[in-house]
Structure 1
Amino acid sequence: MAFAGRQALGLGKRALGRSAAEVDREIGARTAQHIFEVLGELKGCATKLGQVLAIYELALPPKLAESYKIALGRLQDSAPAMLPATVRMVMAQHFGHDWRSRFREFDERRAAPASIGQVHRAVWHDGRTVAVKLMYPGARESVRGDLAQLRGISTLAAVFMPGADVRALTEELCACLLAELDYAEEARCQRAFAAAYADDPDFRVPEVVEQRGDVLISEWLDGTPAPRVAASGARRDRDRVGMLMVRFVLDGCARTELLYSDPHPGNFLLLPDGRLGVVDFGACRTWSPDGFEDMALDYCRAVFEGDPHELASTSRRHGFVRAERVFDVNALYAAALSYGEPLRHRTFRMSSPWLRRQVVRATRPHLTNVARDCDIPVYFTPFARATVTLLGALAQLEAEGSYRDEVVRSFPALAEVFDRLDQREPEPVDLRAVRERRAARSVGSGAGIRRTP
């Protein structure tokens, strides 16, 4: 309703001589500000929902999306810092009034915000630098109140997914968000990942030092946050961070039977030794990769080797389209080919324009949009959340690499499909890259070899 009012106002301003582009930008800015104000009222879930919604700015033209990007950035940074007196109260509540005796140093100023709390830098009594994560007082009540509101408006999602069990999907999403209130469970998941990746050459998961109630203490990691790498990092660093993020999400399932379902850029750091540091394990979900590999194999065969009717059959068999639903199988096949493009090529560079096309395709509110005929099985919701978040991060990084190799690394059965794909569709030769390699070899050989007359 508010958007419609702004559109009507825009028509009036156009009639007064302002350009359509200028008016559209103002409408976009005001709508984005309205989103910020509405979500800002959700005291417990605002930051988390801001992270999830950030990817949908990709569905907008770049100039219009800028307003949403600014508003969502403000939303994610809007959580007020706890005053030192409140920090001391929370620490005393969970560690006793002599809590300071456990630390050599404790900085009462917030080092970083968290979705439902904040992080402080401190030095543990044994000399280790640690991150002390505290939950905001009253966060549980705020989150539960927010989720009650979300349940009330969740039926609106049926406009975009009329075939889905929206109520069940909403409850699964609420369960994911409620799980992040349990710091004891987060500590358990973090310990599982830390053990699985101990001494790994590519990853560093900080050890849990201690956890009590709403306080979680972990080893401190020093590194460059992934958002900074995306904004100003070298191409090789952006590629490395992106590919390692993919590997961590996929490989972690096999190593721990847990899905790291919140691969938001803020949870990753490029460490000085080149490893990827990973923090914040509050959104992990139990996940067995066995059945998932069978489903992935069926889909890859249908998309890369089959036809529209085989894909339709596969989608029904795995619960992504209801058995009785009639839909445009050719449109579904065309969409699947587009979504599968990163796996069709030996290497692929993720980008915002590519991801924007996929988001626009999936979210068009047209009755003819085949995405409206598809369902999301409830069990698949955490993986869908992880995938959407990860794709947004990869687009920010513009990460280039072999996404196919990372998928096969975790699901070896898929290798046969891609091997046959390469035999049928050899990768086109990049002539510019060939010329650059030849020139480099020519320079190298001229500098390193003495030629005799």
Structure 2
Amino acid sequence: MMGMGALAGRLAQNVIAEGSRQLLKGQKPRMSDLLLTKENVSRVTDQLARMRGAAMKVGQLVSMDAGNLLPRELADILARLQDDAIRMPATQWSAILEKSWGADWQEQFSRFSFNPIAAASIGQVHEATDRSGRHMAIKIQYPGVAKSIDSDVANVVSLLKMSGLVPKSLDLEPLIVEARAQLHMEADYRHEGQQMRDYGAAVLSMDQADSFLLPEWFDELSTEQILCMSFLKGAPLASIPPGSLEASRVMSELFRLFFAELLCFGRVQTDPNLANFSYQSDTGKIILLDFGAVRTYAADFVKNYQAALEAATANDAVMLGDALQILGFFQGNINATNRSAVIDIFLMAAEPLRTSGLYDFGTSDLASRIQQRGMSISSDPQAWHTPPPDVLFLHRKMAGLYLMAARLAAKVDVSHIFKEAVQNPP
């Protein structure tokens, strides 16, 4: 990567300078503190921004696996990358449309917004209406994304290691392989369109289908770099008053959808952040958006994960340990203390499923308790054996739902919803 050598030199210079300053003050410098100075973090952030898609994917996977081992600086960098969306100039995105649709592509539309209405990690979204009156959302991929995935992922990992932003004990190789695979899949917008169609058909088969809206995929206009779908107008989920009955109803429906995804569809949308949902206050419907992170689960995996959830809801640590062993949570040489700690964390995470009646996410301190328990074993690398990607993405889904429910101060009977899904599949 251009600039990596120069960046390494600048980081080293800053480390030496900061170390010298601390020594002159009679302080004993620590390498982690020297690396993670404000100036170094700023330089690393600027470099990662040039590989935004790969940086966000690798950071996402690392944070799912290492959790509380990560320094606050990396979380801040990822948040900044999420917020600082890059916009393509009109000359760039129009060239992409012209290449796919022809020089007269504008003739197909009665209206086309030249300013994007949203931006994602590897593309941006424009609003348009075609000559037949179809109201569309058109996602256009940044040029060169697909071709640079492998090199970008390798460079991001090198940069994170160089900067000291990831623990030395963390085994990055499985995450690198998964990051590459995920990005190649997400960079194929026709694949996302097919996922949108298939996932939508599964949602429409639910008894609660009326609670949701999904965009229609316009495959005749879509390519690997262009995703065309129907435009659905809605407000952010964050616009729902926290603690309201509506907030609790919406989150109840999203938990119901999750258990249907896992136990019935075998197809889970694994990126549950607020930006991937909208809400129509007049109809009460939840709009589901962004299907690049839909992941398919084999029947055997679903059966084993359901066994783990049922053991956790029954507070049966022995049965849960057996289920987690089958799912690949433990290395063969894990000691009893670390094994017990991992089981404890899973039991904590299942608290909403085990609680009879409404679980108040707004007042719960579950996240801090899990963090404290995780920190108690963070010094032992053996405790952080990376589970299979299928497990990591499911945990990301559940953690995301918990976070959304906490932000909306929702009260949800998760236990009843889970039991209902097991006994009477939607």
Pairing 1:198-217 to 2, within 5 Å after superposition? 198=204, 200-210=209-219, 211-217=222-228
Task: Please state if 1:264 is matched with 2:270.
Answer: no
Partner letter of residue 422 of structure 2? F
- Deviations 1:131-170, CA, capped at 9 Å, x for gaps: 01100111123433221235657999785557xxx53343
Task: Please state if 1:281 is matched with 2:288.
Answer: no
Match of 1:101? 107
Match of 2:251? 242
How many angstroms apart in 2 are the aligned matches of 1:241 and 1:139?
Answer: 35
Match of 2:122? 116
Residues 301, 327 of structure 2: 8 Å contact kept:
no
Residues 46, 76 of structure 1: 8 Å contact kept:
no
Task: Please state if 1:396 is matched with 2:402.
Answer: no
Tell me: CA distance 1:379–1:335, structure 2 relative to 1, closer, same or farther (3 Å): closer
Equivalent of residue 136 in structure 2, options 130, 139, 148: 130
Residues 61, 175 of structure 2: 8 Å contact kept:
no
- State which structure, 1 or 2, has the greater radius of gyration over its C-alpha atoms: 1
> Which has the larger displacement, 184-193 or 382-391?
382-391
Tell me: CA distance 1:249–1:189, structure 2 relative to 1, closer, same or farther (3 Å): same
Equivalent of residue 90 in structure 1, options 76, 93, 96: 96
The structural deviation recorded for 1:110 is: 0.8
The structural deviation recorded for 1:287 is: 1.7
Tell me: CA distance 1:223–1:126, structure 2 relative to 1, closer, same or farther (3 Å): same
How many angstroms apart in 1 are the aligned matches of 2:403 and 2:64?
Answer: 6
How many angstroms apart in 2 are the aligned matches of 1:241 and 1:48?
Answer: 28
> Which has the larger displacement, 137-146 or 265-274?
137-146
SS at match of 1:270: strand
Residues 242, 409 of structure 2: 8 Å contact kept:
no
Task: Please state if 1:355 is matched with 2:345.
Answer: no
Match of 1:376? 387
Residues 180, 283 of structure 1: 8 Å contact kept:
yes
Partner letter of residue 117 of structure 2? A
How many angstroms apart in 2 are the aligned matches of 1:398 and 1:167?
Answer: 38
Residues 349, 366 of structure 2: 8 Å contact kept:
no
Partner letter of residue 367 of structure 2? L
Tell me: CA distance 1:363–1:183, structure 2 relative to 1, closer, same or farther (3 Å): farther
Task: Please state if 1:340 is matched with 2:350.
Answer: yes
With normalisation by structure 2, the TM-score equals: 0.77
Alpha-carbon RMSD: 4.0
- Deviations 1:76-131, CA, capped at 9 Å, x for gaps: 13232111122211111111112112211111111110220100011122212110
Tell me: CA distance 1:41–1:96, structure 2 relative to 1, closer, same or farther (3 Å): closer
How many angstroms apart in 2 are the aligned matches of 1:259 and 1:355?
Answer: 23
How many angstroms apart in 1 are the aligned matches of 2:128 and 2:386?
Answer: 47
Equivalent of residue 171 in structure 1, options 177, 184, 189: 177
Partner letter of residue 354 of structure 1? L
The structural deviation recorded for 1:277 is: 0.3
How many angstroms apart in 1 are the aligned matches of 2:365 and 2:170?
Answer: 24
SS at match of 1:208: coil
SS at match of 2:302: helix
Residues 51, 264 of structure 1: 8 Å contact kept:
no
- Deviations 1:228-285, CA, capped at 9 Å, x for gaps: 44xx656334323333333333323455432212122110011231111011111112
Residues 111, 119 of structure 1: 8 Å contact kept:
yes
With normalisation by structure 1, the TM-score equals: 0.73
Residues 43, 143 of structure 1: 8 Å contact kept:
no
The structural deviation recorded for 1:7 is: 8.7
- Deviations 1:303-357, CA, capped at 9 Å, x for gaps: 63434x4443333233211344323154344333322211221222235842133
Match of 2:379? 367
Residues 363, 371 of structure 1: 8 Å contact kept:
no
Match of 2:3? none
Tell me: CA distance 1:184–1:53, structure 2 relative to 1, closer, same or farther (3 Å): same
Match of 2:4? none
List alignment gaps of at least 5 residues for structure 1.
17-23, 415-453
SS at match of 1:140: coil
How many angstroms apart in 2 are the aligned matches of 1:30 and 1:68?
Answer: 14
Task: Please state if 1:222 is matched with 2:228.
Answer: no
Match of 1:312? 321
The structural deviation recorded for 1:219 is: 0.8
How many angstroms apart in 2 are the aligned matches of 1:134 and 1:359?
Answer: 38
Partner letter of residue 188 of structure 1? Q
How many angstroms apart in 2 are the aligned matches of 1:394 and 1:28?
Answer: 34
Match of 1:444? none
SS at match of 1:269: strand
Tell me: CA distance 1:291–1:314, structure 2 relative to 1, closer, same or farther (3 Å): closer
Taking only the aligned residue pairs, the percentage that are identical comes to: 24
How many angstroms apart in 2 are the aligned matches of 1:31 and 1:227?
Answer: 34
Partner letter of residue 76 of structure 1? Q
Tell me: CA distance 1:368–1:243, structure 2 relative to 1, closer, same or farther (3 Å): same
How many angstroms apart in 1 are the aligned matches of 2:212 and 2:124?
Answer: 24
Tell me: CA distance 1:90–1:260, structure 2 relative to 1, closer, same or farther (3 Å): same
Partner letter of residue 256 of structure 2? R
